[in-house]
Amino acid sequence: MLAIHDSCLMVAAQTARGVYPATPTYYWELIDGRLSSKPTIDKLNICDGRITGSSKQRIGYVETGGQPTITAQPKGMGAATAWLLGSDTPTGGADPYTHTQVPAASLDAFSYFTAWQYFAGEWAVFHDLQIVGGSIEVSVASKFMRIRPIIVGMAPMQYSEAPGALATQEADNVHWLDAGGYHCLNGDWTNLDHSDVPTDTAGLITWLTAFKAAYNAHCAVASGVHHKAADAVNVLTYATPCADLPACYVALDEIETDLNAHMADTTVHYFADVTNTFAWATPNSEATALACAAVVIGAVNSPGKYNSHLGAVANIQRILFEMNWNATPIQGEGPTAYAVQRKPGDINIAVDQLQEDLRLYNFAVYGKPVPVAGDEVTTEIQKLGFTTKFIANTTGNERSIKIDVPQFYFDPGPLADLSANPEGTEPIVTVGGEAAGTAPIATVTVVNDVATY
């Protein structure tokens, strides 16, 4: 019996088509699927007087490639996403390196790579491969992030000996539990406050300094899906670092006042935020001051009011990022593909979210999260933005993947169909649509110890 679980996939970049690496660089952990060569039989019917067997047959085309599902490992995922998007810009002089990957500006910019596949005791090698589409998915039901590249080969599969040096598996996966607990829809991810809630006066003083910088940077944003103008009035001016605990009380009261004014200002926002308003008595002890900070920041899996105003949303159940290049393999004189014809494609984001109130429903139906009497159903396509970051469960330098879709056309259909349920089942609705706007319409940022792909 075949031991089909005895399988693995290893890959290495090629410097050019037809220039093949001797050994693999990255180990792609297979969950399902594989690479293969699938022959297509051509038939030619002829007239020779027979009732049966009146055709010629031959193998006319061998489709090489596949769509394996692999785990998102800190090193290997960077290769998969770089080859999927068609670009990689590394920065950093040492570990950790940051790889900024955006859709290629040219349809001719996609890298070739080689793959070695071990299956049930035998090796095969595939050359001149390219990724022509694919997806990244992670959810509470499938917590380990998965990448599904669509791969096309432009050279015949070859039976192979084991490579001289094998790539090794990585120790740390990227998965749901290290995603920070909340995600960003229609907001300003850059200036969210990801600080831990302070637990003492020293931590409070440190946080107030960091928060002032993040909030003022947020006020300076002049355009986008969240802002229509900068807010130069409601910026924070308290001295940093705060001198003592009483100075922290004053700073927290300023945050309350300025944030409430900022959120209500419709000259800088497309609509007022009446959901995340602040109301606290002037703190008079360390405990009450720390409680105010928790309201602003929020705990794990529960974004605070500032982060909620910037678009942080809890209770997302699944994320699916898909890229399609509308690619078609073109056969040449040989049995395999000679080239891949790519056409302008699309990028889509889908987020399954547990609905806790009617703000997104109202946004989909009326074009605003808080409608007033007389508002009619909107006839305009609304736009949202999405950002999320996953950090590998690792010690030492950062290993992460971040997905940014600054603007996507919001598909109102799933939310518009939200309906009552006699069983009281919690509504989980897909929020998503096609990426739009100016380039880059999507960015994948990978942080690991690889200098370049």
Task: Give residue limits of the domains in the chain.
Answer: 7-41+57-180+320-347, 189-316+349-386+408-434
- What is the structure's pLDDT at 105? 85
On average, the pLDDT of the chain sits at: 91
Residue/partner pairs of 265-273 with CB below 8 Å, 24 or more apart = 265/231, 265/233, 265/234, 267/228, 267/229, 268/219, 268/227, 268/228, 268/229, 268/230, 268/231, 269/226, 269/227, 269/228, 270/228, 271/368, 271/369, 271/370, 272/370, 273/309
Confidence of residue 107 (pLDDT cuts 50, 70, 90): confident
- What is the structure's pLDDT at 418? 87
Residue 53 in this model has a pLDDT that exceeds 80: no
Q: Would you state the structure tokens that stand for residue 152, as one six-digit string? A: 């096309």
Instruction: Kindly report the pTM of this predicted structure.
Output: 0.88
In this structure, which topology does domain 7-41+57-180+320-347 adopt according to CATH? Pnp Oxidase; Chain A (2.30.110)
- What is the structure's pLDDT at 196? 84
- What is the structure's pLDDT at 3? 62
Highest mean pLDDT among 31-35, 147-151, 404-408: 147-151
- What is the structure's pLDDT at 270? 85
Question: Are 388 and 443 spatial neighbours (Cβ–Cβ below 8 Å)?
Answer: no
Confidence of residue 395 (pLDDT cuts 50, 70, 90): confident
Q: Bigger pLDDT: 258 or 225?
A: 258
Average pLDDT over residues 124-142: 95
- What is the structure's pLDDT at 4? 64
Residue 240 in this model has a pLDDT that exceeds 70: yes
Cis peptide before 21 (omega within 30 of 0): no
Average pLDDT over residues 20-37: 94
Confidence of residue 180 (pLDDT cuts 50, 70, 90): low
- What is the structure's pLDDT at 250? 97
Cα(189)–Cα(349) distance, integer angstroms: 16
Average pLDDT over residues 97-125: 92
Q: What are 288-304's pLDDT values in tens digits?
A: 999 999 999 987 678 99
